[in-house]
Structures are given as structure tokens and as C-alpha cells.
A and B are shown apart, each in its own frame.
Chain A
Amino acid sequence: MAIFSLWVINKAGGLVYQRNFADGLAQLTSNEYLVLAGTLHGIHAITSRLSPIGSSSGAQVIEGDSFKMTILLTATGTKFVLLTSPGETTAELVLQKAFEAYADAVMKNPFHTPEMPIRSDGFESRINTLIGSGQP
């Protein structure tokens, strides 16, 4: 059971926050993470159109052999993505808590520009207590 990484993707598909917590996945450059977040944003939109039975949400959980990505889409279009080991059962809960931390420490911060990268010590410390500091 491990939490590898947390991403926050804004409503335009830009990666505004990315942090690794545990080893186990490849170390990528920030540019590569940006590309992956953009790809995920596009895939998320397409998956909601492929439903065989009427309307559907976008992808909520994407699974590979050794990890899974859990995606929380908020009402404002911001996506929270958590990369965990496949057996992690608390991923949805952690995402919900991360969204709360985002609402409190980022959206209420008068110095934060919406849709721009998150640089907030308050948010960092909330995430630290939520997930653990891990490796930066």
C-alpha cells in the first residue's frame, strides 16, 4: 500500500501541482509530467463519450499492472489525480481531503492566481499531514 504521487490539473488541462511521495514509479522531468497531464485531460473527456449506455462520467480509475490512477473531477473542472498501488482502498478519501486542503489553503489564498501553479506553504503542510512528507 503506497501513495506514489498527487497531481492537480486545472480545467484547461495544465498541471498546476505535482508531488511525489514514494519511489516505485519512474522519475520523470516536470516537462514530461506536463505532457502526461495534458494527455490525461484529453482522455478523460473522450472516455465520457464512449459510454455504451447513455451518459457517463469520465474515467475515475485507471489501472496498470503495478499501480492505479484515481481521478476526482470537481464541479469546477479541476482534476485531482492520485497514483497509488493497485490495492490502495483509501484513494478516493485522500483525494477528497486533498480537495478540501486545496479549497482552504489555495482558493482562499488572496495571493494565488487561479489556474496557475500552486506555490503555497499552507497547502504543502496540509498535504504533508494528509499523505506524509515522503521524498520531495
Chain B
Amino acid sequence: MTIYSFYIYDRHCACVYYQDWHRTKRPRPAVEGGILNAVSRAVAPQAADTSAANLSTSSTTAEDSSSIFTQAALDTPRSNALTFDEEAKLVYGVILSLRNMIKKLSGRDEQFTSYRTSAYKLHFYGTISGYKFVMLSDPSTDGLRFVLRQIYNGPFVDYVVRNPLVPMDSREQGVDNDYFRASVDRLVRGLVVFD
């Protein structure tokens, strides 16, 4: 049982925030111009040499070297791994198509809530204002919409909506900031399903 990743999309279909925890298959950094600024430092566009420099500076202590190597092995861009901007678009495409499909099939204004594969489960929560919260977790997890709602009610309202330094709806800027990130991290790590 664990949580893998968390995305927020705004009503203009753009990914405005990303965070991940136990992912073993990380996306490659986004290409230049593929995503907005201030979405996530981990997947922001970067030149290949800077990531190599980061690894070499962090591997100065001998006792850390084993973990650094595994980290490096995990971060090695493989040809089959998607770049983050591609992945973000695919996630958005899937939730949008499923939302439309569920609406069409039910004939009501009904929300799509989750889907499950053999490896993960995707949870979805859409707000009235058009923000879409998406979380990927272990497939055996129960519904996590309440967590997405908590993130919206708590950290999102406190550190994004009420934060004058975050331009919402700007189409140029994501909503990433240190307080929000730390607050989401604390909330998710405090969950029973997180370990």
C-alpha cells in the first residue's frame, strides 16, 4: 500500500503541479516549453549535463554511494520512459475521456472516480472551479477521493488560492511553492495507506 504520484490540472488543461513519492519508474524531465514553469522542480526541463553534475556532487560521501547508484540507475533516462510533459498529457487525456464516457453512459452529471490496473490505481477529484486532482496509488487501495478533497480544502486553499504570489489561471505559471509542497507532503505521508 502506497502512494505514487499526484497531479493538479487547471481548467485550461495544463498541469500546474506535480509531486511523487514511491515511483520506481520516473518520467524523464520535460522538454523545453513542454510544461508550465513552477510545476515541479523534479521534472522541470533541464540540460543533460546538469543532472549528471547533481549526481556527482551528491555522491561525495562513500557510505551514500550505494543508494546514489541505485538512484542513478532509476533516474537513467530509458528510451521507453515517457518525458513528463507527454505523461502529463496522457494522464489528462485519459481522465477527460473517462469523465466524458461515464457522463455519457450514466446520462447524468456523474463524476468519474477511479480506475485500476494490475500495477496502480488512479483516483480523480474535480472541483467546481475546474481544477482536477489526480492521484496514483497502489491498486489495492480503497477510494482516495477524500484525500484529494482534503488537499483541496487544506493546503490548496491555504497556500495556493490565498497566496498572492501564486498567479492562478495565468496559463504561464504552475502553482508550485514550498509551503504547498511541504504541506501536501505532510498530509500524504500521514496517511494510513502511505508507507
Interface residues of B (CB under 8 A from A): 4-5, 20, 22-25, 82, 87, 90-91, 93-94, 97-98, 100-102, 104-108, 110-120, 122, 136
Contacts and interface: CB of A to CB of B under 8 A. Distances in A.
Interface stretch (A8-16, A49-57, A103-111, A115-123): A49-57
Question: Which size bracket describes the interface of A in this complex?
Answer: 20 to 34
B92 to A, nearest CB: 11
Interface string A39-74: 110110011111111111111111111110000000
Contacts of B118: 56-57, 60
A68 B106 CA distance: 10
B112 A62 contact: yes
A54 B119 contact: yes
Contacts of B104: 26, 28, 32, 36
A82 interface: no
A25 interface: yes
A58 to B, nearest CB: 6
Given A25-B105, A32-B104, A52 B136 contact: yes
A83 interface: yes
A52 B111 contact: no
A52 B112 contact: no
Contacts of A52: 4-5, 20, 22-25, 119-120, 136
Contact of A60 (B5, B87, B116): B116
